[in-house]
């Protein structure tokens, strides 16, 4: 308080003003930090839910495709080192010589594969489901599906030069398929054939500097039985 001859003035001292500014700054910083954390947590939860929904859809599709087919109409191939997916053209392209990848269509027990060709009971349509890396960024993977009628050459199923060829991505582009494989096993006699499907996906968008211990990867594994038909 300042006194003069005729008037009296009241106000803050410099120290009080600086303390007030410091307190307001701390409060503002705490509020901003809290809001940033809440936004990051919300983003992580939404991205994890999207990835979880996508991987569940992928596994359900594999379950139905394999479960509704005869084992004689299922073939597996390892083509992930010779083929890749071009996101710009939406086509699977050869990145090196295919060689004899498609020469042996038999099911090898205990050998994981990235590409599966399957034909459901009573249909002539082959469904081809394959896991391929991005052509320009090998850290990004896609699970793709296409169809082919009366397929004589398994190479042609994902051949981008084939007439009327198309490729569908089985998940959203905000989800990265890190790994995907199908493995064939025989349980008991040859009438009961088991397939083990493994999948690992992650959200593409992830907040930088997010320190909360949340596992980014979502892992799924299912076992599907394909029963052979028996005529009586």
For residue 97, what pLDDT is reported? Answer: 87
First vs last Cα of the chain: how many Å apart? 107
Give the closest residue to 158 by CA, choosing from 136, 186, 134, 126. Answer: 126
Contact 203, 174 (CB under 8 A): yes
Best-predicted range by mean pLDDT among 18-27, 72-81, 97-106, 168-177? 168-177
Q: What is the mean pLDDT of residues 133-152?
A: 90
Instruction: Using the predicted structure, report yes or no on whether residue 232 has a pLDDT greater than 50.
Output: no
Residue 45 phi/psi, 5° resolution?
-65, -45
Instruction: Using the predicted structure, report yes or no on whether residue 191 has a pLDDT greater than 60.
Output: no
For residue 7, what pLDDT is reported? Answer: 60
Q: Which H helix or E strand runs over 218? A: strand 218-227
- Looking at every residue in the chain, the average pLDDT score rounds to 83
Q: What is the mean pLDDT of residues 51-77?
A: 90
pLDDT tens-digit profile of 217-231? Answer: 999 999 988 655 443
In the structure, what pLDDT confidence band is assigned to residue 211 with cuts at 50, 70 and 90?
A: low
Give the closest residue to 111 by CA, choosing from 75, 82, 138. Answer: 75
């Amino acid at each position: 308080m300042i006194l003069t001859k005729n008037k009296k003035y009241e106000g803050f001292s410099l120290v009080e003003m600086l303390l007030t500014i410091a307190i307001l700054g701390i409060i503002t910083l705490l509020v901003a930090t809290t809001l940033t954390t809440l936004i990051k947590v919300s983003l992580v939860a939404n991205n994890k839910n999207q990835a979880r929904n996508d991987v569940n859809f992928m596994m359900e599709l594999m379950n139905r495709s394999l479960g509704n087919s005869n084992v004689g109409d299922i073939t597996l191939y390892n083509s992930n080192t010779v083929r890749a997916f071009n996101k710009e053209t939406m086509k699977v392209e050869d990145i090196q010589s295919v060689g004899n990848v498609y020469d042996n269509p038999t099911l090898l027990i205990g050998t994981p594969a990235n590409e599966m060709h399957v034909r459901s009971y009573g249909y002539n349509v082959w469904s081809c489901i394959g896991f391929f890396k991005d052509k320009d960024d090998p850290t990004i993977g896609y699970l793709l599906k296409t169809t082919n009628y009366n397929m004589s050459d398994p190479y042609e199923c994902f051949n981008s030069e084939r007439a009327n060829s198309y490729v569908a991505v089985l998940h959203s582009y905000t989800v990265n398929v890190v790994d995907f494989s199908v493995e064939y096993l025989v349980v008991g006699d040859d009438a009961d054939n088991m397939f083990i499907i493994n999948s690992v996906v992650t959200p593409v968008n992830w907040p930088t500097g997010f320190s909360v211990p949340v596992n980014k990867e979502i892992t799924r594994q299912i076992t599907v039985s394909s029963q052979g038909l028996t005529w009586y």
